[in-house]
Amino acid sequence: MRVGRIAPFLVLASATLLGGWFLQEGVAREENVYNQVRLFQEVVDYVSDQYVEEVDREEVYRSAIDGLLSGLGDPHTSFIAAREYENVRIRTQGDYGGVGLEVLPRDGHVTVMNPIPGGPGARAGIRPGDWFVTIDGTPAEGLDVDAAVELLRGEPGTPVEVEMGRPGLVDPIPFTLERAIIQLRAVPFVQRLEGDIGYVPLQVFQATARDELQAAVDSLRGQGVQRLILDLRGNPGGLLEEGIGVTELFVDDGATVVETRGRGAGQSARYDASTGPTFAGMPVVVLVDGASASASEIVAGALQDHDRAALVGTTTYGKGSVQSLFPLTAGNVLRLTTARWYTPVGRSIDREVGDAAPRADHAALALTGAVVEVEGELDRPAFRSTAGRPLLGGGGIVPDVRVLPDTLTTAETGAVRALYRQGGEFNAALFAYAVSYIQQHPGLALDFEVGAAELAGFRTVLDEREVEVSDGVFADAERYIRYHLEREIAVQAFGEAGGFRHSVRWDRQLSRAVQLISGVQTTRELLAAAREIEGSTALIAEEAAVEAAAEAEGPDPSTDEGSAP
């Protein structure tokens, strides 16, 4: 009886003591926060009132806010002043034009991730990886993405002068862009390749992405297509719901598509497929590259995690963070990173996380003009797909089969960089020659080729337009010039689909995808074929998983040099 009476008393006493301790701890923390706020206000007051030169108090507060946010080391978090936010809101709701460039912060610059095909930026010759140096005379250094976009937008038909930095060049390249209304289809065209293989490029995850993709694949299946190559290269992302919708076309009902993890209320969530797969069983290869970002990575990661597709290309961009807008006093807005994306098996998409692998050992220039980040040995954490297939994590999505695009030699790269110094004039000459060539060849066939005579004619156009290109540069850059001359002619004569069909023979990544998917009847056979390719990511991931397991178990006592015989 005595024990029964004492036990409740001890519990009550412990609760009372702990409650008092927590109460005191809470008061102490509140006092500490109050003291810190008071300390900050005292510093602001002294600086505003006593500094040797007059200081704007509002600017002091703004500098403090900027310092706080920059200290987070997150390029996607920023303070948006009321006037800036209102201007952006008004312009995005009105009839305003742009220059057709998808931009993201990278390495302290507002960097072009993807020029929209046919847009002013792409037409002028701006490439992925270029960064803004000036926009209409305003230095771009220190600008956040919203401020840069605000300067680039304007009335359709009006010009905007920009200077662009480019890897490998010391001096910026000047361009004059004419703003235009940018209208972009998610799926610009479809193409039946050899046999029963279909090809669909998905350029952006806009409001109609799922519907356009479904219609595209349905049309190909009506032509007898049974295997699909889905091209997400250069796709910068877009709407989350469209990324989920596209994934739902291929994975089972209830399968996890993506997960967010954050500390704030409502920031951690899981998004599952809510419909059955429309294209169940169809073997799929997904093409990805360093410009595949955000929703593209969500789709690629989910299909890879669920063993639904084989990925071919290069590691994706690694834009795996979620930003939320918080209204502040006087109409100001805080854009704050509040969560990160994770694939169904828990791989982080974001390159910013601490265990992310370095972006690249070095960069090369592709025949297309794109900058290619060349990864060396993959030192990344190991994961397993839902079926137990080895995968690699660490930020960005590593494809199952890594294939670099056709890259330029050292001599070719130097010559092409010399062409870049001519800015938009070189690309303007390409366009002018292409239009003239098409007019002179009314019966032009898609299999045309540019020979010595055409190259000489283009050289004449460069001279007439006073584009300074030396004979040595022209000779070293001949392969690059020939590729872009043929593509420009094909696009102008036959549209984007024609440009694709004409240049497909140079696409090493697509060629590998066709080779991989040809002849397989099931997704299981496709993934097995991908694993058998020398240097496949699956084999690298398997080795990483074995090493990780060995480290987790610790050293084998039988081989420990310090143990007794």
Q: Looking at per-residue confidence, does 112 or 560 come out higher?
A: 112
The torsion of the CA quartet 262, 263, 265, 266, rounded to 10 degrees, works out to 10
> Are both 343 and 471 inside the same structural domain?
no
Q: Are residues 263 and 335 in the same domain?
A: yes
In this structure, the answer to whether residues 115 and 229 fall within a common structural domain is no
What is the tens place of the pLDDT at every residue in 170-183?
889 999 999 998 77
Per-residue pLDDT at 250 exceeds 90: yes
Could you tell me the CATH number of the domain that includes residue 137?
2.30.42.10
Residue 138: CB atoms within 10 A of its CB come to 13
Q: Is 311 found in the same domain as 356? A: yes
User: In this structure, what CATH number is given to the domain that contains residue 319?
Assistant: 3.90.226.10
User: How many Å apart are CA 153 and CA 180, to the nearest integer?
Assistant: 9
- pLDDT for the residue 418: 92
User: Do 154 and 204 have their domain in common?
Assistant: no
- Are residues 417 and 478 both part of a single domain? yes
Tens-digit pLDDT profile for residues 524-534: 999 999 998 86
Q: Which amino acid is at 301?
A: G
Domain that holds residue 479: 410-506
| Whether residue 272 sits in one domain with residue 321 | yes
Task: Please check the confidence at residue 556 and state whether its pLDDT lies above 60.
Answer: no
Residue 63 lies in a domain: no
Please identify, among 456, 478, 506, the residue that sits at the C-terminal boundary of a domain.
506
- 546 inside domain: no
Q: How do residues 281-317 score in pLDDT, each as one tens digit?
A: 999 999 999 999 999 999 999 999 999 999 999 999 9
Helix (H) or strand (E) holding 287, with range, is strand 284-288
Tell whether 428 and 288 lie within a shared domain. no
Q: Is residue 256 part of a domain?
A: yes
Cα atoms in the 13 Å half-sphere on the side-chain side of 300: 43
Report pLDDT digits (tens) over 438-497.
Answer: 989 989 999 999 999 999 999 999 999 999 999 999 999 999 999 999 998 998 888 888
Report if residue 234 sits inside a domain: yes
Alpha helices (H) along 229-371: 240-248, 295-305
Number of domains in the chain: 3
pLDDT score, position 422: 83
- CB–CB of 327/312 below 8 Å? no
> Are 392 and 332 part of one and the same domain?
yes
Domain-embedded: residue 565: no
How far, in Å, CA of 516 to CA of 173, rounded? 40
Type of residue found at 234 = G
305 counts as catalytic: yes
Which of 506, 530, 560 is the endpoint of a domain? 506
- The one catalytic residue in 289, 319, 350, 400 is 319
Q: Which of 83-92, 180-189, 244-253, 371-380 has the lowest mean pLDDT?
A: 83-92
Q: For 119-146, what is the mean pLDDT? A: 88
Q: Has residue 95 been placed in a domain? A: yes
- Would you say how long the chain is, in residues? 565
Residue where a domain stops, chosen among 350, 379, 406:
406
The per-residue pLDDT for 25 is 61
Task: Assess whether 304 and 451 both reside in one domain.
Answer: no
511 is a domain residue = no
What are 204-223's pLDDT values in tens digits?
898 899 999 999 999 999 99
Residues 400 and 434 in one domain: no
Q: What are the angstrom distances between the C-alpha of 178 and each of 130, 131, 156?
A: 18, 18, 7
pTM, two decimals, is 0.77
Q: Which of 305, 307, 350, 476 is catalytic?
A: 305
pLDDT at 548 over 90: no
Span 179-196, mean pLDDT? 88
Q: Grade residue 273 by pLDDT with cuts at 50, 70 and 90.
A: very high
CA distances for 145 relative to 74, 183, 291, 294, 534, angstroms: 13, 21, 17, 16, 41
Give burial (CB, 10 Å; 0-12/13-18/19+) of 89.
exposed
- For residue 426, being part of any structural domain is answered with yes
Among the listed ranges 17-21, 178-182, 386-390, 401-405, which one has the minimum average pLDDT value? 17-21
Q: Which residue has the tokens 């799929």?
A: 284
Among 78, 231, 292, 294, the active-site one is 294
Residues 399 and 414 in one domain: no
400 flagged as catalytic: no
Angle at 84 between CA 79 and CA 89, to 5 degrees: 110
294 is catalytic: yes
Query: What pLDDT score does 19 carry?
Result: 52
What the block records as the tokens of 467 is 């584009």
